Amino acid sequence: MPQTMPVKNRLNDLDPKTWLKFQKSWFIHNPPPRKKGVLVHPAKFPETMAQEFIEFFTKQGQTVLDPMAGTGSALVAALRCGRNSYGIELNPKYADIARQIIQAERTALGAAVAGLKAEIIQADAASAGGHGLPVIDYVLTSPPYWDMLRARGAETQKKRRSAADLDVFYSDDPNDVGNIHDYEQFVSRLVAIYAGLKPLLGEKAYLTIIVKNVKKGGRIYPLAWDLGAELGKVYTLKDEKVWCQDNQSLAPYGLGSAWVSNTFHHYCLQFRNEQGPTVPPG
């Protein structure tokens, strides 16, 4: 019988079985408990999940960017799987925490990561093109979910307010998109930030944006869908993966009177840059 030639994998270093498993359109990921150093940050995605995305969309030695890095989850995940990484973080407190966490991870991983970049830049994500970054092979990030961290009725925020050392929102900086109260203006600013990354991205580079539709004032604002539609005019919107969490407690919202869901899923939107960098980085 004629033998089938193996397909060359130009995207990642995964075997076919692992590739196929990742391509399922939904997944359950319940992150491990957060360590004390990152608990101060009011919203972060887990390093364990970030590593799965980075390993699918890059090869070893390539370069990952998170333009809203927070406490550095994407950079820690990139180190663990042998990728270079850069993060941009507006809040100087989170930038410092991220640097400490990244250094601790470097120490733990030892010589295996000695040649890898893992750099936090304290700056506005809108200025990403002005920091001399190399060509970026993959973007993994999650934006503020509008101004919802300032919604005093949020159950998670009530718990955080009772702890004096935990932040309940990102910052008071006027450049922080999480402080924009007008929804249309918020979406427009967010799209502009992500579109501004285009000159840095390699040809066929993917962007994964983890986002959620939000509820406010008794209605839903389709943030994930609006971001997909608007940013899809700049990049090709290729697909979505739905991240489900099944370890959250149910609350009796609207019980006996109205439909109000317990929302335990996020959209991981996959965009692709169809052309290479339009200007030299930096």
Residues with Cβ within 8 Å of residue 50, at least 6 apart in sequence: 73, 74, 76, 77, 78, 140
Q: Is the pLDDT of residue 147 over 70?
A: no
Residues 144/176, Cβ–Cβ less than 8 Å: yes
Q: How confident is the model at residue 42 (pLDDT cuts 50, 70, 90)?
A: very low
Q: What percent of the chain has pLDDT over 70?
A: 81
Q: How many Å apart are CA 203 and CA 29, to the nearest integer?
A: 30
What tokens were used for 275? 């052309």
Average pLDDT of the residues in 239-265: 91
Q: Of 227, 140, 141, which is closest to residue 183 (Cα–Cα)?
A: 227
Q: Of 25, 32, 38, which is closest to residue 51 (Cα–Cα)?
A: 32
Query: Which CATH architecture group holds 35-157+167-247+262-272?
Result: 3-Layer(aba) Sandwich (3.40)
Residue 93 identity: K
Q: Lowest-confidence range among 28-42, 83-97, 191-205, 263-277?
A: 28-42
Residue 177 identity: V
Q: How confident is the model at residue 157 (pLDDT cuts 50, 70, 90)?
A: very low
DSSP strand pairing (219-221 vs 214-216)? antiparallel
Q: How confident is the model at residue 168 (pLDDT cuts 50, 70, 90)?
A: very low
Q: How many Å apart are CA 148 and CA 215, to the nearest integer?
A: 8
Q: Is the pLDDT of residue 81 over 80?
A: yes
Q: How confident is the model at residue 239 (pLDDT cuts 50, 70, 90)?
A: very high
pLDDT tens digit string along 99-139?
Answer: 999 999 999 999 999 999 999 999 999 999 999 999 999 99
pLDDT tens digit string along 7-16?
Answer: 789 999 999 9
Q: How many Å apart are CA 193 and CA 282, to the nearest integer?
A: 16
pLDDT tens digit string along 24-36?
Answer: 999 999 877 755 5
Sole residue written with tokens 């200025």: 127
Q: Is the pLDDT of residue 171 over 70?
A: no
Sole residue written with tokens 């391509």: 23
Q: What is the mean pLDDT of the chain?
A: 86
CB neighbours (10 Å) of residue 32? 8
Residues 66/76, Cβ–Cβ less than 8 Å: no
The pLDDT of residue 6 is: 63
Query: What are the residue ranges of helices labelled H in 13-120?
Result: 16-22, 36-39, 47-57, 73-80, 92-109
The secondary structure of 12-26 as a DSSP string is -S--HHHHHHHTSSE
Q: How confident is the model at residue 205 (pLDDT cuts 50, 70, 90)?
A: very high
Q: Is the pLDDT of residue 160 over 70?
A: no
The secondary structure of 218-250 as a DSSP string is TEEE-HHHHHHHHHTTTSEEEEEEEEE---SPP
Supply the pTM of this predicted model: 0.86
